[in-house]
Structure 1
Amino acid sequence: MNIQGKIALVTGASRGIGRAIAVELAKQGAKRLLLLARDRQQLTEVAMEIEALGVEAVILPLDLTQLVEVNIALAQAWRDYGPIDLLVNCAGVAHQVPFLKSQLLQVQEEINVNLIGMYTITRLIARRMAVQRQGRIVNVSSLMGKVAAPSMATYSATKFAILGFTQALRGELAAHNIQVMALLPSLTDTHMVRDLQWFRWVVPMTPEKVAHALITGLHKESPEILVGWQSYLAVWCNRIAPMLLEMLLMMASPIYRDGQKRFPTPRSMPSASFGSVTN
């Protein structure tokens, strides 16, 4: 896909990977960028950065869990700013807590934002793309959508679900000339993950690297875009020696410290961040 002259909608665009993707799309010559997240002030800052590159930016301060508001705002945006050529679903929330200590409200929040919110906006945009018979949808999953992580059970489950959702849509929407792909970054150094207890031996990447990988994947029309050598290594190990990989993940997990198994202090990321833990 050539970004030049296209209109793109990026969710989770206020910071982290979403912000980096929006800026990179502007650098690639997008005509207009629609930026969606909950924080109006941060969205305004991103919009100013994009407009300094000579690209029009429109902010959509929305909470993806508020389905009626999202429906109304996106219908109006499509009418006012033109057909959307590219949708990047980057919004997400993560809570790091051992499963036995997890709270239902946090579990529901992860599911509502990571899955229901993504489903809602994808349904709205995909229906319109089908009418115009063209479009591209990128769903940001995670390496945790391939390899589940201890202390991140619900988050991992949502990221696995995103891959299944993406694969199903890829088949269904192909007849409408809509391409659907998944972006799978590993741990990325964003505001959202800086309070997490990181897994040992994992080297974080930058949001800009993830954004560059997306652009490369768009040009190559890759159905799944793994980012970084660690992702390729983990997926390869999971194929040939899954039990070994599970053991290594447990050893690297925050619930193992100094060779002793114990649970970490629960930490949670605010959904206002609108970026996944690997994002």
Structure 2
Amino acid sequence: MKIQGKTALVTGASRGIGRAIAIELAQNGIQRLLLVARDATRLAQLATEIEVEGVEVVIIPLDLTKPIDVNIAVAKAWRDYGPIHLLVNCAGIVHQTPFLQSKMYQIHEEISLNLMGMYTITRLMARRMAARQEGTIVNVSSLMGKVAAPTMSTYSATKFAILGFTQALRGELSAHKLNVISLLPSLTDTDMSRGLKLFSWVRATTPKRVAISLLRGLHRGDSEILVGWQSYLAVWGQRLAPWLLEKILLITAPQWQEKPQLRG
């Protein structure tokens, strides 16, 4: 995909990977950026930073877990700034907890945003793109969408689901000339990840490196974009010796001292 002169909408743009992707798009010729996140202040700060690149920036403070608000926002964006050529679904949240200690409100948060929020905006955007027979959708999954790990069960479940969703859409929407791509970062140094207990063998990459990998993948026309050698090593380990990789994950997983509280 050539992004020069195009319009892109990026969710989760206020921080982390989404923010880095927005900046990288601006520095590589995108004409207009629609930035979506819940934090209006952070979005405004990012817009000020990006506008010096000569890019038109529109901020859209929005909670993707509220379908009615999303519907209204997408309709308005297409009316005022469309057509939108590129959708990057980057919004997400993680709660790292052993399954027996997990809390239902945290599970609901992860599924509501990571999966259902992405589904809601993608459905609205894809229908409009399909009507024009033009568009690219990038769904940000994770290495955890290929290799699940202890203490990350719900997060992994949502990221596995994103890969399945992306693969299904890739087949369905190709008839409408839409490209559907998955981006799979490994652990990335963001605000969200700094609160995690890390696996001992994992080394964090940077949001900028993830963004650069995405731009390269778009240029090459990749359908799946892995980021970093650790991702390739883990994926090949999963394919060739899943039993060995599972043992390694158990050995290197963070240790938790708390015990589950069982209640009737």
Residues 132-183 of structure 1: per-residue CA shift (max 9 Å, x gap): 1000000000000000010000000000000000000000000000000100
1:239-274 per-residue CA deviation (whole Å, 9 max, x = no partner) reads 11101000101111113xxxxxx44699xxxxxxxx
Which sections of structure 2, spanning at least 5 residues, go unmatched? none
- The aligned runs of 1:9-88 (5 Å cut-off) are 9-88=9-88
Equivalent residues of 1:97, 1:265 under 8 A apart: no
Query: How many Å separate the matches in 2 of 1:264 and 1:221?
Result: 46
Q: For 1:163-202, what aligned pairs fall within 5 Å after superposition?
A: 163-202=163-202
Instruction: Show the counterpart of 1:155.
Output: 155
Give the whole-Å Cα distance in 2 for the aligned partners of 1:129 and 1:143.
28
Contact 2:36 2:62 in 1 (8 A): yes
Greater RCO, 1 or 2 (C-alpha within 8 Å, sep 6+): 1
Question: What is the distance in 1 between the residues matched to 2:259 and 2:58?
Answer: 39
Q: Secondary structure at the match of 2:57?
A: strand
The one-letter amino acid paired with 2:228 is G
**Structure 1: gaps of 5 or more residues:** 256-261, 267-279
The AA in structure 2 aligned to 1:247 is K
Counterpart in the other structure of 1:212: 212
Residue 247 in 1 paired to residue 251 in 2?
Answer: no
Instruction: Find the residue that maps to 2:3 and give its secondary structure.
Output: coil
User: % of aligned pairs identical?
Assistant: 67
State the distance in 2 between where 1:252 and 1:169 align. 35
Matched, 1:101 2:82: no
Does the residue aligned with 1:33 lie in a helix, a strand or coil? strand
Moved over 6 A (4+): none
Instruction: Name 1:114's counterpart in structure 2.
Output: 114
Please state how far the C-alpha of 1:227 moved relative to its aligned partner: 0.3
Amino acid at match of 2:59: I
Aligned to 1:222: 222
1:263 and 1:126, CA in 2 relative to 1: closer, same or farther beyond 3 A?
A: farther
Residue 236 of structure 1 is matched in structure 2 by: 236
Helix, strand or coil for the counterpart of 1:88? strand
- Describe the shift of the 1:178–1:265 C-alpha distance in structure 2 as closer, same or farther (beyond 3 A): farther
**2:127 partner letter:** R
Aligned equivalents of 2:114, 2:6: Cα separation in 1: 26
Q: In the alignment, what sits opposite 1:89?
A: 89
- CA 1:264/1:59 → structure 2, altered by over 3 Å: closer, same or farther? farther
Q: Which residue of 1 aligns with 2:141?
A: 141
CA separation of 1:264/1:143 partners in 2, compared to 1, >3 Å: closer, same or farther? Answer: farther
User: How many equivalent pairs are there?
Assistant: 260
The residue number in structure 2 matching 1:271 is none
Q: For residues 41 and 264 of structure 1, do their structure 2 counterparts lie closer, same or farther at Cα, with a shift above 3 Å needed?
A: farther
SS in 2 for 1:9: strand
User: What's the CA shift string for 1:94-118, capped at 9, x where partnerless?
Assistant: 0000000111111011000001000
- On the 8 A contact 2:198/2:254 being kept in 1, the answer is yes
Query: Partner letter of residue 82 of structure 2?
Result: G
3-state SS, counterpart of residue 87 of structure 2:
strand
SS in 2 for 1:95: coil
Deviation at 1:195?
1.3
Amino acid at match of 1:197: K
Paired letter, 2:76: Q
CA deviations 1:50-95 (Å, max 9, x no partner) are 1011101100000001110110011001100121000000000100
Counterpart contact for 1:98–1:263, Cα < 8 Å:
no
Mapped partners of 2:104, 2:239: distance in 1: 32
Give deviations 1:167-208, integer Å, cap 9, x for gaps.
Answer: 000000000000001000000000111111111111100000
Please give the root-mean-square deviation of Cα atoms over the aligned residues, in Å.
1.1
* Cα distance per residue 1:12-70 (max 9 Å; x no partner): 00000000000000011101000000000000011111101110110000000111011
Q: For the Cα contact (< 8 Å) 1:97–1:264, is it kept in 2?
A: no
Cα 1:29–1:104 shift into 2, 3 Å: same
